[in-house]
Amino acid sequence: MTLPDLSHLAAPGTEIALRVTPRGGREALDWADGTLRARVTAPPEDGKANKAVQRLLARALGLAPSRLTLIRGATARDKVFRVD
């Protein structure tokens, strides 16, 4: 799996908005129509998809997953993570 290099967004305080597709068949992170989109294989139950997106985004940013906080969209497809 190849991920885009998002290391330029890894500054503390940066908010990253993205659209999530759970049960996406494969794990992927890409840009489409100017929007960052994430596909994860995890189901959208008990926060499993949110954790999978957090890990995927952290990998693309070159950060530990614990440095990302979900600040909006816990139960929605559109999410916003903040770099801590």
Residue 61: its H or E element = helix 48-61
The residue extents of the domains of the chain are 7-83
**Which tokens belong to 23?**
């049960």
Q: Is the pLDDT of residue 75 over 80?
A: yes
pTM: 0.93
Q: Mind listing the pLDDT tens digit for each residue in 2-53?
A: 789 999 999 999 999 999 999 989 999 999 999 999 999 999 999 999 999 9
Query: Quick check: 32 and 42 in contact, CB under 8 A?
Result: no
CATH number of this structure's domain 7-83: 3.30.1200.10
Q: What is the pLDDT of residue 2?
A: 74
**Which tokens belong to 82?**
């903040």
